[in-house]
Structure 1
């Protein structure tokens, strides 16, 4: 066949196809829009074809070219969760696919094929389908700009266009850790999901390793789930149910001697010995600006320990990325997804701190100092529900900011580079607050 293998590209289409189709025995052939589709070599097996939308240079989707209802479903699914400016174009694209207009326009096409041997599941889609009964599945693959922190996502559909699963692929150290963490979190919260005030969560369908990648597959969200508005206040009862795993509050414990402080110290020591993530990433992390950053953070942890060592606070679990765009509603219940930063033994209130911090940082585009001030304001407002006084609030805020810097460092150490919105500005904020 003629054409080019997009895995050789250095754009979004390149990194996504390298992650989703890592096996070099799988042949990828990209043909430009309008090109005639040549016949496969007689020795080849056709595994899948995808429309590259809107174009290879600006690719956003790889849409499965199978039954029209499947192609349409791949852009209609979850559309209600998206803002109106995104929903309308996707709805029109799905209509074009369903009526055959998309195919008539002859978009750029990615053909996935393989030789006759070895037989078996050479693609992730076929591998997952084989472990779920063996029926034919189709995949819709999102394309984003290259970023070591991005995880390729794959929507899975059956031949009738029904969603069957949603897969995330961890392809480097940073993303593999996150994908595995999400699988562990979903398995842990499954017994209490949807009980009382605890949010409903997607059911974990599969998790494991495939072709050197970490893969987590969850059940599709309900078709009529609706997103939580970015202006809605945080759901405090749901946050507390997550922190307490649907149970009663834990007895407050002093910061000194806690598993949380021990973990902060160990993480800070690792950052101090490898401030740029050089050892973990195989080279300096992109954007590193301060070779002493890890030592500065370690010193901030010790100031935290000295100031608050006898302050007693409740410890529990957290979702880890509690923000409106990871929440929805279905049948009167709150639904929460994207649990990849979840973990135990953190001060209760971390999710509320994260909600305020990210709203200010992401939605308002505010600097780290303003985002930290938003955390102060939110925890002050919600103090009665949390049952914390001013000193405990200060402990929660300062330790949350330290946790966020360590998350930023871990991602850099895993190959994702530094987040310029948080480093080095967040470390400056932490030091200034620790000195007050």
Structure 2
């Protein structure tokens, strides 16, 4: 067993405590799935795709409509190569060929399962397709809930460890809060259910109408979305060093005691000039995977890191950084140093109160915040290339600190 198959079997214990075993055919590593208590009961079979050694999605074997819909849904906003692969898999599942080509199975015994709990919560029969994604510290299953005919009903999230449980609870609170917010051009998923499964937090949210009719946001749409999120609790201007954001960031860095990067982050933070900045809310993980748009609206999901009182524009920087590094981290970061600054100098952001001379300060604060998050969540241990803060983030931060000191100038 490699780390991925171990993760898959651990995940099965969370979702299907009645019993889930990996194997091929009816056999599971020399053992068999527990026999059904009733002759009419059946053992569910799921396909880890592309394999048990590299699971990215988990799809039902016996419902090809749901499997095909799951592949298509989880491939949206990915790279062209991934979309081509998804189209081939969708065709294979729709034609019924996929189970013949993919031999690994996750066998689930009878009994009370996550499907039963979700069906009871929504008062309808549901079939699930599960997105697992690549290894990272905040990796958790995202369950696409489908009718037996393959129509999307909603998405469910389940905490699988301390970090992901905290994030599921945070997103539940965020969705409740956003239900009362005024976001003129942004649609947020509705919270459909909150509870527990197998002793872990569970939330269900509606499926947004994202698909072939939506695309990545334009620059203007992205900035309008960022500003509307920032204004959820109002945008307020204040001094950087005497404000609550500075104190909170200091406490988070102090909590990293023992990490060799912490002193460099503290030094970089303390070297920044004290400027007046506009502060507001941010999504915290606004990327191409969490936003889609039409000419009139933006659809935004994954609100687990919603936070108030951060410097205006950090969502735009986060989106841009993740776009820039798609072709490689080192070269992408160099592009971001220019393109991120241009985003924050846009007239829309300037009208909201961010002065051009304060832009390098906000960019540096964003990198300190991001590095602190990665180190706190131990993302480097999961192998994420962006989490290797020594390789790219700290060098970029030093350059931004110099720019901030040079460009801040006298305050107005």
Same fold (TM over 0.5): yes
Q: Which residue of 2 aligns with 1:157?
A: 146
Note if 1:406 corresponds to 2:400: no
Instruction: Answer whether contact 1:174 1:415 (CA < 8 A) is retained.
Output: no
Instruction: Answer whether contact 2:278 2:353 (CA < 8 A) is retained.
Output: no
The one of 340, 354, 366 equivalent to 2:318 is 354
| Aligned 1:377-396 pairs, distance under 5 A | 377-382=342-347, 384-396=350-362
State the shift of 1:219 in Å.
1.1
Q: Which residue of 1 aligns with 2:389?
A: 423
Instruction: Answer whether contact 2:57 2:131 (CA < 8 A) is retained.
Output: yes
Classify the secondary structure of the residue corresponding to 2:117.
helix
| Aligned 1:26-425 pairs, distance under 5 A | 26-32=18-24, 41-43=35-37, 46=42, 48-77=44-73, 81-103=77-99, 107-114=103-110, 121=112, 123-133=113-123, 135-192=124-181, 195-197=183-185, 199-222=186-209, 224=211, 226-229=213-216, 235-245=222-232, 250-271=235-256, 273-275=257-259, 291=260, 293-304=261-272, 307-308=273-274, 311-330=275-294, 332-366=296-330, 368=333, 370-382=335-347, 384-412=350-378, 416=382, 422-424=388-390, 425=392
- Check 1:296–1:162 CA distance in 2 against 1; reply closer, same or farther (3 A cut): same
- Check 1:183–1:404 CA distance in 2 against 1; reply closer, same or farther (3 A cut): same
Classify the secondary structure of the residue corresponding to 1:151.
coil
State the shift of 1:239 in Å.
1.3
Instruction: Answer whether contact 1:201 1:336 (CA < 8 A) is retained.
Output: yes
Cα RMSD (Å) of the superposition? Answer: 3.4
- Check 1:67–1:388 CA distance in 2 against 1; reply closer, same or farther (3 A cut): closer
- Check 1:319–1:190 CA distance in 2 against 1; reply closer, same or farther (3 A cut): same
Distance in 2 between residues matched to 1:39 and 1:384, nearest whole Å: 62
Instruction: Answer whether contact 1:62 1:142 (CA < 8 A) is retained.
Output: yes
Q: How many residues align?
A: 396
Classify the secondary structure of the residue corresponding to 2:122.
coil
Classify the secondary structure of the residue corresponding to 1:159.
coil
Q: Identify the range of structure 1 (316-325 vs 10-19) with the bigger mean alpha-carbon deviation.
A: 10-19
- Check 1:385–1:262 CA distance in 2 against 1; reply closer, same or farther (3 A cut): same
Instruction: Answer whether contact 1:227 1:327 (CA < 8 A) is retained.
Output: no
- List runs of 5+ in structure 1 lacking aligned partners: 1-8, 276-290
Distance in 1 between residues matched to 2:197 and 2:27, nearest whole Å: 33
State the shift of 1:230 in Å.
7.7
- List runs of 5+ in structure 2 lacking aligned partners: 406-412
- Check 1:403–1:205 CA distance in 2 against 1; reply closer, same or farther (3 A cut): same
- Check 1:237–1:105 CA distance in 2 against 1; reply closer, same or farther (3 A cut): closer
| Aligned 1:12-27 pairs, distance under 5 A | 12-22=4-14, 25-27=17-19
State the shift of 1:64 in Å.
1.1
Instruction: Answer whether contact 1:12 1:145 (CA < 8 A) is retained.
Output: no
Classify the secondary structure of the residue corresponding to 2:52.
coil
Distance in 2 between residues matched to 1:112 and 1:162, nearest whole Å: 23
Instruction: Answer whether contact 2:12 2:20 (CA < 8 A) is retained.
Output: no
Q: Which residue of 2 aligns with 1:10?
A: 2
Q: Which residue of 1 aligns with 2:410?
A: none
Distance in 1 between residues matched to 2:14 and 2:358, nearest whole Å: 48
Distance in 2 between residues matched to 1:15 and 1:105, nearest whole Å: 23
Distance in 2 between residues matched to 1:399 and 1:125, nearest whole Å: 43
State the shift of 1:234 in Å.
5.5
Q: Identify the range of structure 1 (354-363 vs 75-84) with the bigger mean alpha-carbon deviation.
A: 75-84
- Check 1:87–1:33 CA distance in 2 against 1; reply closer, same or farther (3 A cut): farther
Distance in 1 between residues matched to 2:383 and 2:52, nearest whole Å: 26
Q: Identify the range of structure 1 (258-267 vs 21-30) with the bigger mean alpha-carbon deviation.
A: 21-30
Could you tell me the TM-score, scaled by structure 1's length?
A: 0.78
